């Protein structure tokens, strides 16, 4: 039976191969189409991306250690049919030793130009699925009203005492993907 997580709740993972599913549904009648993008930031002990290839998104779907694979961009949210909109597969057994944390972020593409925010999105969640049997292990549903936020840190995997744990974050920002890159990467991203 899956665990329903609350904001800030932490759990031991106990898995080596899992998928992180992210889902959302824009409210009806909000005008222009929504394009939400899931990203993963593989961070070192200083909470920085060691190299640009450790930033996983629709333009870089595989991490250099082959531990993360992004399912690709779903610009309309129409691929899910009620399920995950974008998925990031994770193999914790081969994560680069420099990486101490994997942060999962969702941003709204062109949010300012389209006048969109997470207050116009419902049923947002992050979930952990055991890839061995395709069963849901844990799920965190955003239940806050992010009325001005355009980017959300949904959750993070992190190493603690040699084990991987997961924390449901739910931290919203009125920022775009560029903000997260400037926060977690001090080099130049080459696309």
pLDDT on residue 82: 60
Q: What is the pLDDT of residues 69-106, one digit of tens each?
A: 999 866 554 444 568 889 999 999 999 999 999 999 99
Beta pairing partners, 127: 21, 139
pLDDT on residue 165: 96
pLDDT on residue 114: 86
pLDDT on residue 80: 46
pTM: 0.89
Q: Which CATH number fits domain 13-184: 1.20.910.10, 3.40.1160.10, 2.60.60.30, 1.10.101.10?
A: 2.60.60.30
Spatial distance between the Cα atoms of 174 and 116, rounded to a whole number of angstroms: 11
**Residues in the chain where the model's pLDDT stays below 50:** 77-80
Task: Give the list of residues 6+ apart from residue 42 with CB closer than 8 angstroms, or none.
Answer: 49, 50, 54, 55, 56, 63, 67, 68, 95, 96, 99, 101, 102
- Domains of the chain: which residue ranges? 13-184
């Amino acid at each position: 039976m899956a665990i329903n997580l609350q904001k800030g709740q932490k759990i031991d993972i106990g898995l080596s191969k899992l998928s992180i599913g992210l889902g959302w549904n824009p409210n009806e009648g909000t005008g222009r189409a929504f394009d939400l993008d899931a990203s993963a930031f593989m961070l070192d002990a200083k909470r920085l991306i060691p190299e640009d290839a450790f930033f996983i998104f629709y333009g870089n779907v595989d991490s250099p250690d082959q531990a993360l694979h992004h399912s690709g961009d779903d610009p309309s949210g129409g691929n899910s049919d009620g399920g995950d909109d974008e998925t990031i597969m994770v193999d914790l057994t081969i994560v680069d030793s420099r990486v101490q944390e994997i942060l999962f972020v969702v941003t709204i593409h062109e949010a300012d130009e389209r006048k969109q925010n997470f207050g116009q999105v419902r049923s947002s969640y992050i979930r952990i699925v055991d890839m061995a049997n395709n069963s849901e292990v844990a799920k965190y549903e955003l239940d806050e009203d992010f009325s001005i936020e355009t980017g959300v840190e949904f959750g993070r995997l992190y190493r603690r005492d040699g084990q991987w744990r997961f924390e449901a974050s739910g931290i919203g920002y009125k920022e775009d993907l560029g903000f997260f890159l400037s926060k977690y990467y001090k080099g130049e991203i080459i696309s």
